[in-house]
Amino acid sequence: MKVEQFKIDESNHQHKNEHQRKFDYVAADVANLDEVLQKLAAFNITIPSWALGTGGTRFGRFSGGGEPRSLEEKIEDVGVIHALNRSSDSVSLHIPWDIPENAASIKALAAQVGLRFDAVNSNTFQDQKDQQLSYKFGSLHHVDKAVRKQAVEHNIQVIKYGVELGSNALSVWLSDGSNFPGQLNFRKAFQNTLESLKEIYEALPDDWKVWVEYKPYEPNFYSTTIGDWGQSLLLANKLGAKASTLVDLGHHLPNTNIEQIVALLLMEGKLAGFHFNDSKYGDDDLTVGSINPYQLYLIFNELVEGMDARGMNHAKDLGWMIDASHNVKDPVEDLLQSVEAIKIAYAQALIVDRAALLEAQNNNDVVRAQEIIQEAYRTDVRPLVAEARLRQGGALKPVEAYRQLAVREELIKERGSKTVATGL
Task: Give the shortest CB-173-to-ligand RM4 separation in angstroms.
Answer: 4
Select the binding partner of residue 121 from Mn ion, ligand RM4, none (C-beta < 5 to 8 A, by kind): ligand RM4
252 binds Mn ion (CB under 5 A): no
On the question of a cis peptide bond just before residue 68, with omega within 30 degrees of 0, the verdict is no
Closest separation between CB of residue 120 and ligand RM4, Å? 11
Between residues 89 and 283, which has the closer beta carbon with respect to ligand RM4? 283
Q: Which residues of 329-340 are buried (b: 16+ CB within 10 A; e: fewer)?
A: bbbbbbbbbbbb
Selected range binding Mn ion among 10-18, 47-55, 98-106, 240-248, rule: CB under 5 A: 240-248
Give the nearer residue to ligand RM4 in terms of CB position, either 87 or 175: 175
Residue 405 contacts residue 7 (beta carbons within 8 Å):
yes
Instruction: Name the E strands within 266-336.
Output: 271-276, 319-322
Q: Is 259 helix (H, G, I), strand (E, B) or coil?
A: helix
* Rounded Cα–Cα distance for residues 386 and 367 (Å): 32
* Residue showing the smallest CB distance to ligand RM4 in the complex: 173
Distance CA 110, CA 116 (A): 6
209 part of the interface to Mn ion, by CB under 5 A: no
CB of 325 to ligand RM4, least distance (A): 8
Asked if 20 and 33 touch (Cβ cutoff 8 Å), the reply is no
CB of 342 to ligand RM4, least distance (A): 17
C-beta of residue 23 within 8 angstroms of C-beta of residue 383: yes
Q: Which of 14/292 has CB closer to Mn ion? A: 292
3-state helix, strand, coil in the chain (%, to 5): 50, 10, 40
Q: Is 248 in the site for Mn ion (CB under 5 A)?
A: yes
Element (H, E) at 83: helix 71-85
Q: List strand residue ranges (DSSP E) for 373-421, in order.
A: none
Is residue 176 within 8 A of residue 224, CB to CB? The reply is yes
Amino acid, res. 263: A
* 335/67 Cα distance (integer angstroms): 14
Which is nearer to ligand RM4, 176 or 323 (by Cβ)? 323
CB 158 within 8 A of CB 202: no
| Torsions phi, psi for 117 (to 5 deg) | -105, 125
DSSP character at residue 299: H
Enclosing H/E stretch for 152: helix 145-165
What is the closest distance, in whole angstroms, from the C-beta atom of residue 125 to ligand RM4 in the complex?
A: 7
- Give 199 or 284: the residue with its C-beta nearer to Mn ion: 284
Q: 90 Cβ partners below 8 Å, 6+ apart?
A: 44, 46, 47, 115, 116, 117, 118
User: Which CB, 94 or 154, lies closer to ligand RM4?
Assistant: 94
Pick the closer one to ligand RM4 by CB: 247 or 384.
Answer: 247
Tell which residue, 140, 136, 325, 321, has the closest CA to residue 219.
Answer: 136
Which residues within the stretch 319-338 sit at the binding site for Mn ion (CB under 5 A)? 323
Closest CB to ligand RM4 among residues 248, 334: 248
User: In one letter, which amino acid is 343?
Assistant: K
Element containing residue 398 per DSSP (H, E): helix 398-404
Nearer to ligand RM4, 275 or 343 (CB): 275
Residue 89 interacting entry, from Mn ion, ligand RM4, none, C-beta within 5 to 8 Å by type? none
**389 is in the binding site of which of Mn ion, ligand RM4, none (Cβ under 5 to 8 A by kind)?**
none
Cβ proximity to ligand RM4, 275 vs 389, nearer residue: 275
Based on the shown chain and the rule CB under 5 A, indicate whether residue 278 belongs to the binding site for Mn ion: no
Smallest distance from ligand RM4 to CB 372, Å: 33
- When asked if residue 275 is in the footprint of Mn ion (CB under 5 A), the reply is yes
Instruction: Tell me how far, at minimum, the Cβ of 97 lies from ligand RM4, in Å.
Output: 9
Nearest approach, Cβ of 208 to ligand RM4 (angstroms)?
18
Which does residue 225 bind out of ligand RM4, Mn ion, none, counting CB within 5 to 8 angstroms by kind?
none
Distance CA 409, CA 395 (A): 19
Minimum separation from the CB atom of position 276 to Mn ion (A): 9
Q: Which of 52, 51, 50, 46 is nearest to 90 (CA)?
A: 46
Residues found near ligand RM4 in the complex (CB under 6 A): 94, 121, 173, 213, 215, 248, 275, 283, 323, 424
Nearest distance from C-beta of residue 423 to ligand RM4, angstroms? 8
Q: Which residues make up the interface to Mn ion (CB under 5 A)? A: 248, 275, 283, 323
